[in-house]
Structure 1
Amino acid sequence: MSVMQVTEIMKILPHRYPFLMVDRIVEMDMEAGTVVGIKNLTMNEEFFQGHFPGNPVMPGVLQMEAMAQVAGVMLNSRAGNEGKTAYFMSMNNVKFRKMVIPGDQLRIEVESVRLRTRMATVYGKCVVDGAVVSEAELTFGYGA
């Protein structure tokens, strides 16, 4: 069950191919401050061509970017933030636990930690087949 298709996501996020890292939002609870997005990974992703030839692995920094984009959908959808952009400012307590490869479906789970008028902090994790592959605390600042 999809809450938001990619065309709706593109109305909220400024990112475009090849840098749009979320295909679908499958859950979003604004009251609880949680959102879940999906990124389907195929061998056609540009980053797999060079990272690494013969052993394609999704770069960890792109997993962080995927988390930030899923968080951005929620943050930019909050009342009062319409038309604003949540800019990714920092990441803390980052952990990479398993490799992400072509054919994997990245389930990106994000929950609010602190929400302020001009800043927000969230905890995010990427999950493949029920196993956490990466996690981090991300901080954002709002722009116009």
Structure 2
Amino acid sequence: MTALSQERIMELIPHRPPFLWLDAAEVAGETLTAQAFVAPDLPLFEGHYPGAPLLPGVIQLEMCYQAGAVLIAALGQGGGGLPVIARTDGVKFKRMIRPGETCEIEVKITDRLPGAVYLIGKVSVDGKLACRCDFTTAEAKPESI
């Protein structure tokens, strides 16, 4: 098992605060488990259900996507391009995530093709599933973005 600090995560993927959604991670084989504390003072809570703030589902998906990019890079399987999402399927939201909670993100590689990696992602809080998705990553050349 390989532990990854947030500093190491930033060496592996191009995401940076305020849009980096992983605090730390561990890689075991073709699985990555990460943690992300949902700070109560995030500006997005000012507009996402004021008075009853919830972490948007799109951010939960982004946590999975970033974890997938870290896993691919940590395994040395990236080709030097920028990791982008090519497809998302089977998205299910099962539990709301509130400010002050800590998310556990798990991603597993399920298949590979030239230029594409297929993964399953899950976000949980206190052992309860909040979000699940299947997704595919591809690499984009920086000049094409």
Q: Which residue of 2 aligns with 1:137?
A: 134
- Distance of aligned partners of 1:44 and 1:78 in 2 relative to their CA distance in 1, 3 Å threshold: same
User: Which amino acid in 2 is paired with 1:14?
Assistant: P
User: Which amino acid in 2 is paired with 1:10?
Assistant: M
Contact map agreement 1:24 1:38 (CA 8 A) in 2: yes
**TM, length-normalised to structure 1:** 0.91
Q: Is residue 3 of structure 2 the alignment partner of residue 6 of structure 1? A: no
User: Which amino acid in 2 is paired with 1:101?
Assistant: R
Q: Which moved more, 1:107-116 or 1:60-69?
A: 107-116
**TM, length-normalised to structure 2:** 0.90
Q: Which residue of 2 aligns with 1:41?
A: 38
Give the Cα separation in 2 of the matches to 1:77 and 1:84: 14
Q: Which residue of 2 aligns with 1:22?
A: 22
- Picking from 99, 122, 125, the partner of 2:122 is 125
Contact map agreement 2:2 2:27 (CA 8 A) in 1: no
Give the Cα separation in 1 of the matches to 2:139 and 2:100: 34
Counting only pairs closer than 5 Å after superposition, residues 69-108 of structure 1 correspond to structure 2 as 69-81=66-78, 83-108=80-105
Q: Can you give the 5+ residue segments of structure 1 that lack an aligned partner in the other structure?
A: none
User: Which amino acid in 2 is paired with 1:47?
Assistant: L
User: Any idea what the Cα deviations from partners look like across 1:32-84, whole Å, max 9, x if unmatched?
Assistant: 31000111011111211211110010000110000000110011223352633
Q: Which moved more, 1:117-126 or 1:84-93?
A: 84-93
Q: How many residues align?
A: 141
User: Which amino acid in 2 is paired with 1:7?
Assistant: E
Secondary structure (helix, strand or coil) at the match of 2:3 reads coil
Secondary structure (helix, strand or coil) at the match of 1:48 reads helix
User: Which amino acid in 2 is paired with 1:21?
Assistant: W
Q: Percent identity?
A: 29
Contact map agreement 2:38 2:98 (CA 8 A) in 1: yes
Contact map agreement 1:40 1:103 (CA 8 A) in 2: yes
- Picking from 65, 86, 92, the partner of 1:68 is 65
Q: Can you give the 5+ residue segments of structure 2 that lack an aligned partner in the other structure?
A: none
Secondary structure (helix, strand or coil) at the match of 2:15 reads coil
